Amino acid sequence: MELLNFARGPALQWSLAIFIFGITWRLVGVAVLNWPKELSTPRNGNPLLGALRMMAMRSWPHKEFLPKTWYSEVMGYTFHIGFFAVFLLFVPHIIFIEALTGLSWPGLTERIIYFLSLITLFALVAVLIRRLTHPVLRMLSNFDDYMSWFMTISPIITGLLVTSHVGLGYETLLAIHILNIDLLLLWFPFSKLMHAFFIWSCRGLTGAAFTRKGIPAQ
């Protein structure tokens, strides 16, 4: 019980505080960069619509690339959607979020969440196998890539153990699961996982810049 109290008490509070501070620090750091001044005359077009269009179009590859990228695309979308579905639609998670924020919404049944967790787990393993076997990906990968993968898959594995009541006692498994989430929160702002925030702003800024210059988003 002491480990569980620590995991959902001081450890969670500090990890949330560092998570919020880290994300704010990273976003503010980008916002205050010395952006170059645009000297050209703006073309016709709405930069906001251009930003939204670019965000939508860059969320799916051109058909010319799919023969070589379909595996990464399918596995990537599978584990991203699965991870957030498990995190946001599992009833115990919703209750936990409600206790922190006061927000609540309907959830999915435990069987569906368990199935989604397994699919997410398999997709993450598939992504790692491709990273280890693809010569270019293996060359480009560094400690951040592998650590971010580990931090992402650990809550899935420990969550499955908690719901399956496998191994240690329930309270110990739950404490380990929450501690894994605490570690994920600590790691998130200072790793490549920050792409969850940067990817949309980068695409949006690129789309707005293209619209300003009269370049159609493709």
Report residue 90: phi and psi, to 5°.
Answer: -80, 125
The first and second tokens of residue 217, run together, are 């988003």
Q: Which of 77-91, 157-171, 196-210 has the highest mean pLDDT?
A: 77-91
Residues 94, 96, 101, 107: what is their CA dihedral angle, to the nearest 10 degrees?
0
Please report which confidence band the pLDDT of residue 201 belongs to, taking 50, 70 and 90 as the band edges. confident
For the stretch 141-177, pLDDT in tens is 999 999 999 999 999 999 999 888 777 788 889 999 9
Residues 83-96: what's their mean pLDDT? 91
The confidence score (pLDDT) of residue 144 equals 95
Q: Where are the alpha helices (DSSP H) in 32-90?
A: 47-57, 66-89
User: pLDDT-based confidence at 192, cuts 50/70/90?
Assistant: very high
Amino acid at position 176, single letter: I
What pTM value is reported for the model?
Answer: 0.85
**Amino acid in position 62:** H
pLDDT band at 89; cut points 50, 70, 90: very high
pLDDT for the residue numbered 217: 60
Q: Which two tokens stand for residue 169?
A: 């006692």
What type of residue sits at position 45?
G
Nearest by Cα to 203 from 26, 98, 95, 57: 57
Q: What is the CATH class of 2-29+63-192?
A: mainly alpha
Q: Helix 110-133 crosses helix 66-89 at what angle (to 10 degrees)?
A: 140
